[in-house]
Amino acid sequence: MRAPRLRLVAGVVLAGVLRVGPVAALPPTVQDPPVGRPDATIDLATPAGVGLVAGVWRYHEARIVEVDGRGPGPDRRPSGAPLRTWDVAPHAGAVDFDDRDWATIDTTTLDQRRGRGKLSFAWYRIAVTIPRRIGTLDPTGATVAFEIVVDDYAEVWVDGVLPLALGATGGAVVKGFNAPNRVVLTRDARPGQRFQLAVFGVNGPLSQPPDNFIWIRSAMLDVYAPQPTEGAGEVIRLDPALDVAVAPGTRLEKLAGGFLFTEGPVWVPEGGYLLFSDPNANAIYRWAPGGTLDVFRTHSGYAGVNVGAYRQPGSNGLALDREGRLTINEHGNRRVVRLERNGVVTVLADRYQGKRLNSPNDLVYKSDGALYFTDPPFGLPRVDADPAKELPYSGVFRVADGRVELLARDLAGPNGLAFSPDERYLYVGNWDPARKVVMRYPVAADGTLDPGEVFFDMTAALGDDAIDGIKVDRAGHLYVSGPGGVWVLSPAGVHLGTIVGPEHPHNLAFGGADGRTLFLTAQTGLYRLRVETPGAGR
């Protein structure tokens, strides 16, 4: 989309908690619980603390072993010639790993030096159970964080998972020399809930192994009493038929904030998380249930020396293909790319008839695997007047069988797009203050578009914003980012209601386990609300 007037925000807000940082800084990996003093602390280095959570510390030395492997093949994966390489044994991070034969550690001896010194590794394991009471505190609904300080480094597995994210430090992965690793176990604790923790300790630094040994400096559970959920915004109901899409009483919930400009969200079912762009910050972020937030991809749309000339150099629209591979519209690079599972970038579209694209904005996949995308000039430094602009129009394109095809060029600012549930129509929004319309194009049998018609006209509506992201649910309701909020339209083009938030939502995505969570990227914040009908398409 074309960004409206923006302001820089100092810091990051997660679930209503401000984390102050430098202006325009990228949000850090957010694994920490709320800022401030916990309401209860359980010291896992004491018999009383371990007893309270029904835990037992176990220890086993790890070692480097020689194993069979393969070198890199033409696909850059380990598919090449056989070779001998190294691994660590045992792999004890799994939740069901059998550690019954391991040595049991007296809780008062966690600071005992273990390992062999120099280049050495070790595993510590403990299962903790949320008690019914912690002193006077009922932990129901609380946030529980595990913090451990290992001399020298640590990795923390929780229930068999070691989260890996580009650029992540701290939390579950190595944070630094004798640094605390803090991992949120749950933000909605329930008495009796059990967590299996496995801590991999490393003697370091690795490039100059010291003569000392591995030991635990401290191990704590910090418990934060539940806070009221931050609600924001309202749903303006214009027609009782809205109840089929959004139930009465539904409210927006703020998940995170402090970004420059959020856009292009997509839910990743395989990992159970949301990816979204900040084209102004040139980054893609990942949000996961439980509140974790990290940088998924830096330099997500541009890495040129003149990046400072761009208002929105980064990625915008994101989508998944039939194989679950992430497809990215890169503003600054003026192309559409696919991120392969091995990290290789495949360019799907960057030119049409020899001319460079403007700045691909939004995108959607059809069930046959064809990719449709819009290409306004909003990512260029001077937009329509940019001297680097090569195409004299803004188009709707399709990529099929490796070929880029122009389907429509009748809109000044084609932006969000979505298929009807039966894929008979493609809806395209127009970011044009003089013509704020949602177009509906019949989809021909060969995947091209027949001439479109105005499905809904918002030109007379108050507000500076035109039309941005569009999503459709399985019943055919359209959720359209328009003037003043997200307009909910019936399949017949009736305005049923508007979702209004504290910030204008510019794009949206259905997600969650059942597809009934609507995520909204709204300028500096990320929001969600519960809907009645799951989303359609990809």
CA distances, 14 to each of 19, 80, 171, 294 (Å):
8, 44, 16, 11
List beta partners, residue 335.
330
Q: What is the DSSP string of 57-90?
A: EEEEEEEEEEEEEE---TTSSS-SSEEEEEEEE-
Q: Which of 46, 185, 167, 40 is nearest to 127 (CA)?
A: 185
DSSP 3-state of 126 = strand
pLDDT at position 167 is 59
pLDDT at position 165 is 64
Mean pLDDT of the chain: 90
Which is more confident, 271 or 83? 83
90 cis-preceded (ω within 30 degrees of 0): yes
Both tokens of residue 52? 């309270």
pLDDT at 9 over 70: no
* Residues 535, 511, 165, 141, Cα dihedral to 10°: 180
pLDDT at 415 over 80: yes
pLDDT at 100 over 80: yes
DSSP 3-state of 7 = coil
Looking at residue 504, what DSSP letter applies?
Answer: -
Beta carbons within 8 Å of 313's beta carbon, 6+ residues apart: 279, 282, 301, 302, 304, 307, 331, 332, 379
pTM here is 0.77
Consecutive H or E run containing 111: none
CA distance 135 to 329: 52
pLDDT at position 5 is 35
Both tokens of residue 321? 């293909």
**Which of 25-29, 49-53, 208-212 is the least confident region?**
25-29
- Sequence ranges of the domains in the chain: 10-31+229-530, 40-224
CA distances, 310 to each of 273, 329, 388 (Å):
29, 16, 12
Encode pLDDT of 209-251 as tens digits.
999 999 999 999 999 998 655 556 789 999 999 999 999 988 8
**pLDDT bucket at 1, cuts 50 / 70 / 90:** low
Q: Which of 421, 427, 432, 423 is nearest to 454 (CA)?
A: 427
Encode pLDDT of 256-311 as tens digits.
888 999 999 999 998 889 999 999 999 999 998 867 788 889 899 998 889 999 99
> Cβ(499)–Cβ(508) under 8 Å?
no
> Cβ(38)–Cβ(499) under 8 Å?
no
pLDDT at position 176 is 84
The pLDDT of 399-417, averaged and rounded, is: 97
> How far from the centroid of its chain's Cα atoms is residue 268's Cα?
8
Q: Would the CA dihedral through 443, 448, 454, 455 be positive or negative?
A: positive
* Residues 505, 511, 517, 519, Cα dihedral to 10°: -20
Fold of 10-31+229-530: Neuraminidase (2.120.10)
pLDDT at position 37 is 81
pLDDT at position 538 is 62
pLDDT at 112 over 90: yes
pLDDT at 24 over 50: no
Architecture of the domain defined by 40-224: Sandwich (2.60)
pLDDT at position 330 is 98
**pLDDT bucket at 464, cuts 50 / 70 / 90:** confident
Q: Which of 358, 355, 320 is nearest to 341 (CA)?
A: 320
- What share of the chain has pLDDT > 70, as a percent? 91
pLDDT at position 35 is 58
The pLDDT of 114-123, averaged and rounded, is: 95
Encode pLDDT of 139-165 as tens digits.
999 989 999 999 999 999 999 988 766
Specify the length of the chain in residues: 538
Consecutive H or E run containing 418: strand 414-419
> Cβ(229)–Cβ(143) under 8 Å?
no
List beta partners, residue 403.
400
The pLDDT of 312-320, averaged and rounded, is: 97
Which is more confident, 374 or 164? 374
Beta carbons within 8 Å of 314's beta carbon, 6+ residues apart: 277, 278, 279, 280, 281, 282, 283, 284, 299, 300, 301, 302, 330, 331, 332
pLDDT at 193 over 60: yes
Both tokens of residue 430? 């127009």
Longest dimension (CA), the chain: 76
How many beta carbons lie within 10 A of that of residue 6, not counting itself?
Answer: 13
pLDDT at position 234 is 87
Both tokens of residue 496? 């049923």
pLDDT at position 232 is 65
Extract the runs of DSSP E, i.e. beta strands, from 189-314.
194-202, 215-224, 231-232, 234-237, 252-268, 273-278, 283-288, 292-298
CA distance 535 to 100: 46
**Which of 138-142, 165-169, 220-224, 365-369 is the least confident region?**
165-169
pLDDT at position 11 is 32
**pLDDT bucket at 19, cuts 50 / 70 / 90:** very low
CA distance 370 to 360: 16
